[in-house]
Amino acid sequence: MSPEKTVLPTRLLSCLIAISMFLLISSSLSLVEFHHNFFIPQSVLQFILAKNASIHPIPNAIADTHENPVFPNEKEDIPNQNVASQGPNTIKSPIFPIETLDKQDTSNQKVSSEYPNTENATNEQEKLLCDKNRALLRVYMYDLPPKFHFGLLGWKGSANQTWPNVSHRNKIPSYPGGLNLQHSNEYWLTLDLLSSTTENVVRPCSAIRVHNSSEADIVFVPFFSSLSYNRNSKRQGKQKGNYDRLLQEELVEFLHSRNEWKSLDGRDHLIVAHHPNSLLFARKILSSCMFVLSDFGRYPSKIANLEKDVIAPYKHMVRTIADEKSASFDERRILVYFQGAIYRKDGGAIRQVLYQLLKDEKDVHFTFGSVRSNGINEAGRGMVSSKFCLNIAGDTPSSNRLFDAIASHCVPVIISDEIELPYEDVLDYSEFCVFVHAADALKKGYLLNLLRGVSREKWTKMWETLKKISGHFEYQYPSQRGDAVDMIWQTVSRKKVETELNVHRKKRYRRWQL
């Protein structure tokens, strides 16, 4: 047989075999349904997942697909039955709500202790659970010795115990009363971080404590500086210095020895120094950090300023008035109310002039008052009976009186040209406060004519707004969504963005220097 005749059948046979294999593969593929990510039939994939799920149950909070992860809905939070009352106010409409992460990738999330008792948790309980991936802020808190924080309250834990048990309210050391309470936000913020990793405590997920500083957005320094000043700033006996100064010196030495501080020169650190005289020794040395302050009245702009620092509300001294018990326009017989120290130095000298202008007016209560002799209760009763409450600059631009007025639903009249206000980047104070320049307030008749000219309708609108926002100024444990603690963390989160911007700008050329 010739070679040509042999080649043709061989080629024909090869073609037939190739066509047959192609048809076989095509027919097989037509019988299989593919999952969009896998070369495995969907029916087989479903079998594998079902089998695997029976062995390793996946929490509902993280079991959804990569495309549509579902996170606990904070709007449906319910009170935890294992903790004490949540406090006087329920926040009905927070100005700056916490955002859930609608598009976060959960493909690499792991089941961990962040989801305690997940297998047996009810749907309601799962909605309350939060982890570091959902928080606005991941906060690393130094385990400073108790003498810097709860030890100042007289708390003594067991050997090597740094923190009190915060899972039960009756075991938490109480903060001293009186004027000390005005500057107690250091206490509430620390409690909130401790409770963020404590089971059975229901709170918002704005900030959560992490135990690895490399995971943190900010580093919190738990020094009760205001309490230290109030209790330890005076020299005792034959001491050369005072205990408050000693604690500050130790704190500076500690921070400067830490790698966390050295990495960014403390710019990602948060220190509470709410009392105007707190941290007097250390504030300049630690000025690169973010401070939580009441105002900038006693700080040079190089040490503290609105660009990097947080203004936090005082804790009000009077009782919070419930919405249903808040007196309306006609029920408030006093037009203008002020009770407090009249003779002040610096910017507070305006109080003396206003006292002379207003003291004899029939619908004005302007008198001296103090915390002694039931003064706080008297002030509370007076404010809830007044349409307008004066907040006048004292030794510093701010005072607790503004927050007493808000708690009383008495429209604040702010006469303090240098005042800075909490959360003002998200809260429009002009909707519920009257602002008057000091120079105008000192003109005879100006202030009263202005306030008497406010109609019932306009005042009522401001009063209704006060009732809606008053919860943003409540300190309580556990914290609630939109209360003072939660709002402070939100403000810190926004400041953190500015800090990161400045840090990154300074690094522009550092990597490329020869």
pLDDT at position 106 is 30
Question: How does DSSP classify residue 119?
Answer: G
Q: What is the pLDDT of residue 363?
A: 93
Contact 496, 218 (CB under 8 A): yes
Q: How far apart are the first and last CA of the chain?
A: 82
Whole-number Å distance between alpha carbons of 6 and 290: 90
Amino acid (1-letter code) at residue 411? V
Which of these, 156, 218, 157, 227, lies nearest to 185 by C-alpha position? 227
Compute CA 104 distance to the chain's CA centroid, rounded to the nearest angstrom: 22
Closest CA to 128 of 91, 61, 77, 195: 77
SS (H, E, C) 353-406: HHHHHHCCCCCEEEEECCCCCCHHHHHHHHHCCEEEEEEECCCCCCCCHHHHHH
For residues 328 and 463, the answer to whether their CB atoms sit within 8 Å is yes
Closest by CA position to 312, among listed 203, 186, 408, 431: 186
pLDDT for the residue 51: 35
What's the pLDDT score for residue 9? 60
The residue ranges of the chain whose pLDDT is under 50 are 1-8, 29-127
**Does the N-terminal peptide bond of residue 116 adopt cis geometry, omega within 30 degrees of 0?**
no
Domains of the chain: 137-315+479-503 (no CATH), 323-473 (3.40.50.2000)
Report pTM: 0.75
Q: What is the pLDDT of residue 373?
A: 63
Q: Tell me, what's the pLDDT at 177?
A: 87
CB 305 within 8 A of CB 289: no
Q: Classify residue 372 as exposed, middle or buried by CB count within 10 Å of its CB (0-12, 13-18, 19+).
A: exposed
One-letter identity of residue 512: W
pLDDT of residue 105: 33
At residue 149, the pLDDT reads 98
Q: What pLDDT is stored for residue 24 in this prediction?
A: 64
CA-CA distance, 289 to 292, in Å (whole number)? 10
Q: What is the pLDDT of residue 100?
A: 30
Bridge-based pairing state of the strands 34-35 and 38-41: antiparallel
The residues near 289 (Cβ < 8 Å, ≥ 6 apart) are: 221, 266, 267, 269, 270, 271
Give the pLDDT score at 72.
Answer: 27
The one-character DSSP state at 462 is H
Separation CA 363–CA 170 (nearest Å): 45
CA-CA-CA-CA torsion sign (276, 336, 431, 332): positive
Spatial CA neighbour of 205 closest among 131, 145, 257, 289? 131
